Amino acid sequence: MDNASEIDDLKDIVNKLRKRLKDIREEADEAAAPKVSPLAPDNFPTLPDIDGVRFAAAAAGVKYQDRADVMIAEICEGSSIAGVFTKSSTRSAPVLDCQNKLASLASGTKTKGKFAFVVNSGNSNAFTGGAGFTSVHAISSAVADTFDVTADQVFTSSTGVIGEPLPHDRILAVLGDLKAGLAPNTIEDAAAAIMTTDTFPKGSTKTVEIDGTSLKISGIAKGSGMIAPDMATMLVYIFTDANISQATLQKIISGQNKTSFNAITVDGDTSTSDTVLVAATRRAEMAEIKSNRSSQGRAFASALGEVMQDLAHQVVKDGEGATKFVEVRVTGATTVTNAKKVALATANSPLVKTAIAGEDPNWGRVVMAVGKSGAVADRDKLTIKFGDITVAENGWVSPGYTEDDGAKYMRKQDLLVHIDLGLGNATSTVWTCDLTHQYITINADYRS
């Protein structure tokens, strides 16, 4: 072989090797940081303006640079406000403050003028001792001054790292910009400002006709890790023009919470900051909804519940590292408590969740989860289905089941694991995602 052809051959080898290295690097990069969850909706939905609510977002540099990290919602006088919060015994200063303020409203304290929701991302102001309350009060007072709101009607939330003091001066420094930016149609900017490890902003809307008036409901949410009942690490803000009393709104949101935000789990971990706030501006032309049991109350609850469930599903779909959206549906239980025990034991099982990540129809792990749940169960009455495929029944694998059928089903992105206990009529449904390498990558290195 002459020199020229040897050079050509070597150059060819070099090129191939370089190409291979480039591919490997690209694969590694992609695996390390997918830009957006594969389960994300195609677009942020178009949310209608809610009469009486204006939004603004700004970049305060609390932790993130070069992006908006503070949002405000200014809500008109006369609105009804309701909320539900984490039950964590180490919950954050902003959560405790919101709970106190809502308790005052619930006890019949007369409201004075407008309301504000103020939210920052990057720092959760949780486990920050007395300084946590100092920050909340500083933000509440400054927002009150700038936006002409009573400090008692300023509700703050913070999400991000636990245990580091909140540099609230940075937030105060952008209040002027926030005020100048207030607009009724910028809720998407607000949804983006409250993201932390989220890969997409979350919004949902529903209109509902009540007594001839079309009511609007628009909601936004953030959350993708530390997601579990009671509740997710999750912040949710929902706005409606419904004319509804504070007490009725509170009853409805507490009820709908059970089958939405309290029925999702990413990793069984519960945040110190979870907050769902709903504001009803009462601007719609309608008689006041005074009872959750009236036909109007039920219609509104159903529509609000749909928005809440949609947002809850989006939170799961942005579960850290998620590649599969999984509904765990339990039927045939003796009690709802037993049904929920089985649903949560299955949805939180690392072995079930890793099997789903691996597209492995490993129904034996579902049997294991039922067994460990502590719920009343009878092995020989149990039926397990993946979608419409009956996998196991009568204490063993179903006669018609084949691993090929199971494996094919598991390649779908949206999965249903249906467990029928065969003992009674109680049911429970929980939504979760799979447990992947990416979850580990995100959480083993969150703070660095």
- Does residue 90 touch a second copy according to CB under 8 A? yes
Range 183-242, binding a second copy (CB under 8 A): 225-226, 228, 230
Measuring CA to CA, how many Å separate 69 from each of 147, 196, 317?
Answer: 19, 9, 22
Q: Residue 54 or residue 340: which is nearer to a second copy going by CB?
A: 340
Site membership for a second copy, residue 394 (CB under 8 A): yes
Exactly one of 300, 363, 386, 431 binds a second copy (CB under 8 A); that residue is 363
Site string for a second copy, 148-187 (x = CB under 8 A): -------------xxxx-----------------------
**To the nearest whole angstrom, how small is the minimum distance from the Cβ of residue 14 to a second copy?**
5
Rama region for 294: left / alpha / beta (φ>0; ψ in -120 to 50; rest):
beta
CA distance 154 to 74: 9
Q: What's the token pair of residue 82? A: 């309701």
Query: Residues 358-388, buried b or exposed e (16+ Cβ, 10 A)?
Result: ebebbbebbbbbbeebebebeeeebbbbbbe
- Which residue of 140, 240, 250, 270 would you call a contact of a second copy, by CB under 8 A? 270
At closest approach, how far in Å is the CB of 313 from a second copy?
A: 21
| Active-site residue list | 233
Pick the binder of a second copy from 397, 408, 424, 427 (CB under 8 A): 397
- Which structure tokens are listed for 320? 């850290």
**By CB under 8 A, which span of 2-10, 98-106, 134-142, 145-153 interacts with a second copy?**
2-10
**Binds a second copy (CB under 8 A): choice among 183, 358, 411, 414:** 358
As measured in angstroms, the least distance from the Cβ of 13 to a second copy is 5
Of residues 41, 184, 364, 387, which one binds a second copy by CB under 8 A?
A: 364
Instruction: State the nearest-atom distance from the C-beta of 351 to a second copy, in Å.
Output: 5
- Say if residues 319 and 227 touch (Cβ distance below 8 Å): yes
| Least distance from a second copy to the Cβ atom of residue 134, Å | 12
Q: Does 400 bind a second copy (CB under 8 A)?
A: no
Measured CA distances, 409 to 6, 327, 416, 433 (Å): 52, 14, 10, 16
Task: Report the alpha-carbon distance of residue 417 to residue 204 in Å, rounded.
Answer: 26
Per the CB < 8 A criterion, the answer to whether 307 and 220 are in contact is: no
| Other C-beta atoms lying within 10 Å of the C-beta of residue 130 | 8
